[in-house]
C-alpha cells in the first residue's frame, strides 16, 4: 500500500518554497490543471499552489488534479479534500478529454508519467508521454485565454552515450538506443518534447520543457519505485539490509523537492516560452555507494548492513558502462535566480523522517 508522507513535512517544504521572491500574484485566481497529481513533484506543486493564498495573500486558485489511483490521491491529499477549490478527477489523458470539463483553464502542468523503464508494460510508459501529451495540447489549443503548458520531461532526452567532460546543457545531445528496454521511457520523453514544440510552432500553444535530474523527496512511492533513492530509503526504514544492484561507483546528482519546485516556479513565472530547462542540483553529487552509506547511517534501525544483489536489477535498466561523471548544467536556470540549497544528506534525512517508522523528529538537524 502507498505510504503517504507526513503532511507537516510537505507543508513545511511548501512554506519554504513560497518564501522565494517571485511574482506569485500573477497566479491569483487562475484555473490550473495538473496531471499525474499524486506523483511526488506534481503533489508538491499542488500543495504549494493550495497554500499560496494564505502565505502570499493572493486569490485562491481553482485546481483540478488528474490521477490514476483515486485511493492513492485521497491518501496523499487527505488534508485538502474538503477545499472547494480542489478537485480530484480520474480522467484518462490517453483518451480525448471532454473540453467542457476544463473550460476556463489557463495553465496545464503535465506531469503524468511512469518514472522508469518497463519491459512488462512498455506501452503504458509510452502512452502518457505521447498520447497524453497530444490530447492535452489539443485541449490547450482549443481553450480560450490559455496561457501556459508545462511538460515534465527528463534529462534522459540528452542521450545515454555521453561523450563530453563538460556539464550537459539543454542543447547537447548524444546517442541512445531506440530498441533497448528503456527506450519506452527515453523515446517517449523525446517524442513528448517534439509534440510540445510542434503545437507551439503550428498553433501558438505556449510551452515549457522541464528536464528533471534525480529529483526526490517526501511523496516518493517507496513501495513501488525501484530506483536507487527510493529503494535505499525503503530499506533503511523497513528492512535490516540496504540492497545495492551494482558496485555503486557511478556518480549521480540528486535534487531535493524544494529545490526542484523552486526551479519549476521560476520557469513558470518568467515570460520566456518554448525552451528546455534543466532542473537539477549540480552541487549535490555522490556515488550510489555513498548514497547507500548515508541511508544506512540515517536509518532508525539498529545494525543496518549493505549487500549487493546484482541479479535483482529491475527489468529495463542497463548496467552502467562508463566511469565518466556526467554533470547536469544548471547555468541557464540560475539566470532566473535559481540557487539549490539542500545537500544530499539533508535531503535524504528530510525524506526519511517524513515516513512512518522513523523515530527522529523533523526539527532535529541530521
Q: Which of 19-23, 113-117, 238-242, 330-334 has the lowest mean pLDDT?
A: 113-117
Number of domains in the chain: 1
Closest among 36, 140, 148, 38 to 97, alpha carbons compared: 140
Task: Find the CATH number of the domain harbouring 262.
Answer: 3.40.50.720
- Alpha carbon 48 to chain centroid distance? 14
- pLDDT for position 324: 56
d(Cα 297, Cα 263) in Å, to the nearest integer?
Answer: 29
- pLDDT for position 366: 30
Closest among 301, 259, 219, 276 to 37, alpha carbons compared: 219
- pLDDT for position 323: 45
- Alpha carbon 8 to chain centroid distance? 20
- pLDDT for position 308: 80
- Alpha carbon 99 to chain centroid distance? 27
The reply to whether 119 falls in a domain is yes
Taking residues 263-274, report their average pLDDT. 97
Q: Is the pLDDT of residue 327 over 50?
A: yes
Q: Is the pLDDT of residue 361 over 70?
A: no
Taking residues 127-136, report their average pLDDT. 97
- pLDDT for position 358: 58
pLDDT band, residue 310 (cuts 50/70/90): low
In sign, the C-alpha dihedral spanning 280, 283, 287, 291 is negative
For 112, list phi and psi in degrees, rounded to 5: -75, 120
In percent, how much of the chain has pLDDT > 70?
92
Taking residues 324-342, report their average pLDDT. 92
Taking a C-beta distance cutoff of 8 angstroms, is the pair 258, 217 a contact?
A: yes
pLDDT band, residue 311 (cuts 50/70/90): low
- pLDDT for position 118: 66
Q: Is the pLDDT of residue 140 over 90?
A: yes
The reply to whether 310 falls in a domain is no
In percent, how much of the chain has pLDDT > 90?
75
Q: Is the pLDDT of residue 318 over 80?
A: no
The reply to whether 296 falls in a domain is no
Taking a C-beta distance cutoff of 8 angstroms, is the pair 153, 210 a contact?
A: yes
Model-level pTM? 0.92
- pLDDT for position 36: 97
The reply to whether 333 falls in a domain is yes
The reply to whether 361 falls in a domain is no
How many other β-carbons are positioned within 10 Å of the β-carbon of residue 120? 9
The reply to whether 223 falls in a domain is no
Domain range for 25: 7-213+257-282+323-342
Q: Is the pLDDT of residue 315 over 60?
A: no
User: Which one-letter DSSP state was computed for residue 301?
Assistant: S
pLDDT tens figures, 181-215: 889 999 999 999 999 999 999 999 999 999 999 99
d(Cα 273, Cα 328) in Å, to the nearest integer?
Answer: 21
Share the mean pLDDT of the chain.
Answer: 90
- pLDDT for position 337: 98
The reply to whether 115 falls in a domain is yes
User: Nearest-5° angle of CA 93, CA 37, CA 57?
Assistant: 125
Taking residues 244-260, report their average pLDDT. 91
Do the strands 241-244 and 148-154 form a parallel or antiparallel pair, or are they unpaired?
A: unpaired
Amino acid at each position: 500500500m502507498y505510504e503517504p508522507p507526513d503532511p507537516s513535512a510537505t507543508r513545511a517544504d511548501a512554506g519554504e518554497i513560497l518564501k522565494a521572491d517571485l511574482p506569485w500574484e500573477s497566479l491569483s485566481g487562475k484555473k490550473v490543471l495538473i496531471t499525474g497529481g499524486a506523483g511526488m513533484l506534481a503533489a508538491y506543486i499542488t500543495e504549494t499552489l493550495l497554500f499560496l493564498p494564505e502565505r502570499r495573500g493572493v486569490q485562491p486558485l481553482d485546481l483540478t488534479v488528474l490521477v490514476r489511483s483515486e485511493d492513492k490521491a485521497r491518501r496523499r491529499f487527505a488534508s485538502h479534500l474538503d477545499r472547494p477549490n480542489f478537485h480530484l478527477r480520474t480522467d484518462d489523458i490517453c483518451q480525448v478529454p471532454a473540453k467542457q470539463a476544463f473550460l476556463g483553464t489557463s495553465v496545464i502542468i503535465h506531469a503524468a508519467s511512469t518514472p522508469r523503464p518497463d519491459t512488462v508494460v512498455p506501452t503504458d510508459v509510452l502512452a502518457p508521454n505521447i498520447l497524453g501529451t497530444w490530447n492535452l495540447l489539443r485541449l490547450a489549443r482549443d481553450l480560450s485565454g490559455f496561457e501556459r503548458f508545462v511538460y515534465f520531461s527528463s534529462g534522459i532526452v540528452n542521450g545515454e552515450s555521453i561523450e563530453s567532460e563538460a556539464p550537459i546543457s539543454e542543447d547537447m545531445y548524444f546517442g541512445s538506443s531506440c530498441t533497448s528496454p528503456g527506450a519506452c521511457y527515453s523515446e517517449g520523453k523525446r517524442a513528448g518534447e517534439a509534440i510540445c514544440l510542434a503545437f507551439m510552432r503550428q498553433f501558438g500553444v505556449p510551452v515549457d520543457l522541464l528536464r528533471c535530474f534525480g529529483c526526490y523527496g517526501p511523496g516518493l512511492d517507496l513501495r513501488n519505485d525501484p530506483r536507487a533513492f527510493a529503494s535505499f530509503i525503503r530499506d533503511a526504514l523497513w528492512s535490516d539490509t540496504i540492497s545495492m544492484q551494482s558496485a555503486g561507483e557511478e556518480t549521480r546528482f540528486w535534487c531535493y523537492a524544494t529545490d526542484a519546485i523552486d526551479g519549476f516556479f521560476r520557469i513558470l513565472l518568467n515570460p520566456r516560452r518554448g525552451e528546455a530547462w534543466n532542473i537539477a542540483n549540480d552541487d549535490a553529487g555522490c556515488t550510489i555507494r555513498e548514497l547507500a552509506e548515508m541511508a544506512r547511517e540515517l536509518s532508525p534501525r539498529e545494525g543496518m548492513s549493505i549487500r549487493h544483489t546484482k541479479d535483482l536489477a529491475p527489468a529495463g535498466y542497463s548496467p552502467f558502462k562508463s566511469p565518466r561523471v556526467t554533470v547536469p548544467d544548471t547555468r541557464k536556470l540560475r539566470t532566473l535566480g535559481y540557487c539549490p540549497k539542500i545537500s544530499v544528506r539533508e535531503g535524504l534525512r528530510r525524506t526519511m523522517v517524513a515516513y512512518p517508522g522513523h523515530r527522529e523528529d523533523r526539527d532535529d538537524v541530521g
